[in-house]
Amino acid sequence: MELLPQATVDGLLIGGIYITIAIGFSLAYGVMHIIDFAVGEWIMLGAFLGYYLNLWSVLDPFILLPAIFLVFAVIGYLIQPLVYRVISGKKGNPVLMGLVFTFGLALMFRGAALTGFGFYSHSIPSAISQDSFFIEMGSVFITIPYVRLAGLLYAIAITLVLHFVLKKTDFGRAVRALSQHREASGLMGINAKRISSYVYGIYVGLSAMTGVIIGSIFTLNAQMGGEYTILAFFIVVLAGMGYLAGVPWAAFLLGLVQSFFLIYLNPSYTLMAVFGILFTILLISPKGLFGRGV
């Protein structure tokens, strides 16, 4: 039992990072109604950019975050019109085509990363990677690495900023209007195309930034994308598609599931457990834990 507090703390620390992945993903879904199969690949590409920038500039990965956000936000902004063209096509089934299209993008990115970066795993060293602090209360002993704590703080900061932007600014109001009703928001003078481009850029930038955090806490390699895509889906489905307020709870739950499997059970069955939970939720409450999804 002495491992229980440690497992819980670990789970919450990991879960915090997942929030940032899933919020961007959920935002993009709410506005564009697109399920992006390349989400994990954006994380992977971001992590690699962070890795190489860190090698080149010897700056701490946490300082590099804004630069990486900018680079990938621009990439996302530029790619969005193509995605938009696919999902708003007149022929066939646009939603289906959107899924196929991002599936193709994901394959391309993975292949490109394997070609360019090879199969090896790396990690991005941060000045605080080595240190951790300890909490001792009687027989309970908890280790908290600084870098994980920094990851959680980063996640909380991002969540608060996004909350402020969505609730208090004109841009946020436009985004919320767009996800509520596309046609009506167009009649109110909201430029759907431009807002969608911004949102997609923010989503890609957020995913890439989180990739750097993941790279400095765990490791990064060219094949890591698939795993994070599944985790992002898991959180978004659990929270309810497009329901942002449910995301943190689902993310913490996922973190706890992972850390408990890691400590008490066989970590090789984590994906099976993740799938089992996903499956049960879809069976009982397809609109997510809170029944608020679309």
Partner 1 sequence: MSRKYLLLILSFGALLAVPSVIHDTFFLRIITEAILWIGLAISWDVLAGYTGYLNFGHGAFFGIGAYTTALLMKLCGWSFFLALPFAGLAAGALAVIAGIPTLRLKGAYFAIATWALSRAIQQVALVMDITGGPDGMRLPTFLHPDFFYYLMLGVVAAIFALYWFLLEKAPFGLKVKAIREDDQSAMSLGLNPTWIKLQAFILSAVPTGILGAIYAYWITYIDPASVLGDLVTDQAVVMAVFGGLGTLIGPAIGAIIIYLFKTYFWAYLSDYQVLYLIILGGVIAASVVFLPNGLWGTISGYLQTRNAVKQKPVPQEKIDKGVHHV
Q: Which residues bind partner 1 (CB under 8 A)?
A: 35, 37, 82, 85-86, 89, 91-93, 95-97, 99-101, 103-112, 114-115, 226-227, 229-230, 233-234, 237, 241, 266, 268-272, 274-275, 278-279, 282-283, 286
In whole angstroms, the minimum distance from the beta carbon of 241 to partner 1 comes to: 8
Which residue do the tokens 């994980």 mark?
148
In whole angstroms, the minimum distance from the beta carbon of 38 to partner 1 comes to: 10
**Calpha distance 105→263 (Å, rounded):** 35
**Calpha distance 178→242 (Å, rounded):** 12
Residue 186 or 226 having the CB closest to partner 1: 226
In whole angstroms, the minimum distance from the beta carbon of 271 to partner 1 comes to: 4
Residue 38 or 214 having the CB closest to partner 1: 38
In whole angstroms, the minimum distance from the beta carbon of 59 to partner 1 comes to: 30
Residue 6 or 223 having the CB closest to partner 1: 223
Residue 177 or 237 having the CB closest to partner 1: 237
> Cβ contacts of residue 138 below 8 Å, gap of 6+?
none
In whole angstroms, the minimum distance from the beta carbon of 250 to partner 1 comes to: 14
Considering only CA atoms, give the Rg of the chain: 19
Q: How far is CA 263 from CA 6, 126, 136, 234, in A?
A: 9, 26, 19, 21
CA 127 to centroid of chain Cα atoms: 24
Which residue do the tokens 């990677």 mark?
129
Tokens of 240: 């309810």
Residue type, 65: L
- 197 and 27 Cβ atoms separated by less than 8 Å: no
Residue 82 or 135 having the CB closest to partner 1: 82
In whole angstroms, the minimum distance from the beta carbon of 143 to partner 1 comes to: 27
The H or E element containing residue 271 is helix 270-284
Residue 53 or 238 having the CB closest to partner 1: 238
Residue type, 149: L
DSSP 3: T
Residue 77 or 109 having the CB closest to partner 1: 109
Show contacts of 94-97: CB within 8 Å, 24+ apart: 95/33
In whole angstroms, the minimum distance from the beta carbon of 282 to partner 1 comes to: 4
